[in-house]
Structure 1
Amino acid sequence: MLKYAFALAAAPLALMASSTATAQQSPSDSLNTISAHLRAMTTMTANFTQADRSGQVLSGKLTLKQPGKIRFQYGKDANLLIVGDGKSLTMIDYDVNQVQRWPIKNSPLGALLNPERDLSKYGKLIPTRNPGVLSVEVRDPKRPEYGVITMIFTKSARGPAGLVLDGWVSLDSKNNRTSIRLENQKFGGSVDNSTFNWTDPRKKSRSKR
């Protein structure tokens, strides 16, 4: 479970982000729009569907609070939780009472969870077939071990700075490729910091010994 869940490209997303069509905005303007969206997106909740390279699909609810806080609450088909507390990403597998932790900045999700990141240095606009869709690939050329994330946005007045995040494709340092699709995105609601707390299953396991 742990090896595929943390990577957070399915064919539909990859195809949507690959074309010779030219977007209406210039690349620099589009990157500025995406940066403005990430800065303005103080909170977001959404339903997510996750697919890995092997074709396994999981779903659940995503909660995001900037800067750096995120929670992937998986459904009944996975006894798993991923939480970002602003500094680290923690993955908890309750089936085997296992916990793993990584610095957010060392993962592909760092591009999403650090709204102050300068996309002009790390981002590359990917042409799309649809002028209403923006796609940006973010990687640190000096830190290839941090992985790559390609985020997909739809232009929409209902989203911060006129964009809605539809999902992303990520490739981690171990070449694990995973796609996330989002639906029912809601922005700007109140999200308590306790949402990003979690229960350590190792403590319960030790108490039974």
Structure 2
Amino acid sequence: MDDYYSDGPTTAQDTKLMTKTAHSFRLAALLVASLFMILASGFTPTAQAALSETSVKALDTISKAFNATKTMNGEFIQTAPNGDTLQGYFFIERPGKIRFYYSKPSYTDIISDGKTLSIEDRKLKTQDIYPLSKTPLRVLLSENLDLARDPRVRQASIADDIVSVVVEQESLFGDGILTLIFDREQSLLRQWTIRDANGNDTTVTVFNVETGKPIKPSVFEIKYDLSPTND
């Protein structure tokens, strides 16, 4: 994949910017990972909010379509609370595998190979490693999504062409509110917003999405020989 997304030569200015913002980009990457909270096990259940019959039907349709989708790829734009944006490419193969490849000025690469989650800095050639079972990323990668009956779903709203789902989330990386936006007609995930405990919103929008397309196994390979990141 790197042949198609070349970073180009390193400059002193690139290195200075990368060093100054590396920690921020890793935190942003963890916010993207928070999307996958919905199906994660091991959290304390809460009483499920009452959903209308129309909402339950819409969520069942979305869950059924999502469960039938084994691969997904496309592009994303991530918008930080201050309005700054990052963008890149994503690849998903359920169950267990995912890659979020950030374009410059970020050098972040989020990879799950089905057992382990890596957040890699491609420029520094370092990474943070987490067991997939201990991170939010296990969520979307599970085999069975059931939004209508998930106790973390607090609200579902239906407009003409979208379905909005509000989820209470808890993770190793902090608590917050996750709002998922699905295309009502195609049942595709289009956008999600994570509101943290301080009320700050980070939004990720996906586009040019393809489903059912074979993905090379090498896309999900983790470089286990890389050094850990020094915070």
Secondary structure, in 3 states, of the residue corresponding to 1:7? helix
Structure 1 residue 53 displacement after superposition: 1.8
Identity across the alignment (%): 27
Find runs of 4+ consecutive structure 1 residues off by over 6 angstroms. Answer: 141-144, 172-176
Secondary structure, in 3 states, of the residue corresponding to 1:76? coil
Alpha carbons 1:83, 1:90 under 8 Å: kept: yes
- State which drifts further: 89-98 or 58-67: 89-98
Structure 1 residue 177 displacement after superposition: 4.4
- RMSD of aligned Cα (Å): 3.3
Alpha carbons 1:111, 1:149 under 8 Å: kept: no
Question: TM-score when scaled to structure 1?
Answer: 0.72
CA 1:142–1:194 in 2, change beyond 3 Å: closer, same or farther? closer
1-side partners of 2:55 and 2:208: how far apart? Answer: 28
2-side partners of 1:74 and 1:121: how far apart? Answer: 31
Q: State yes or no: 1:83 paired with 2:111.
A: yes
Q: Which residue does the alignment assign to 2:214? A: 190
Q: Which residue does the alignment assign to 1:48? A: 76
Structure 1, unmatched stretches of 5+, are: 9-23, 157-161, 204-209
Query: In the TM superposition, what are the counterparts of 1:88-107 in structure 2 within 5 Å?
Result: 88-104=116-132, 106-107=134-135
Secondary structure, in 3 states, of the residue corresponding to 2:62? helix
Alpha carbons 2:169, 2:178 under 8 Å: kept: no
1-side partners of 2:225 and 2:108: how far apart? Answer: 11
Structure 2, unmatched stretches of 5+, are: 1-24, 33-51
Structure 1 residue 26 displacement after superposition: 1.2
Secondary structure, in 3 states, of the residue corresponding to 2:165? strand
Question: TM-score when scaled to structure 2?
Answer: 0.66
CA 1:2–1:199 in 2, change beyond 3 Å: closer, same or farther? same
Letter of the structure 1 residue corresponding to residue 213 of structure 2: G
2-side partners of 1:103 and 1:166: how far apart? Answer: 27
2-side partners of 1:180 and 1:188: how far apart? Answer: 22
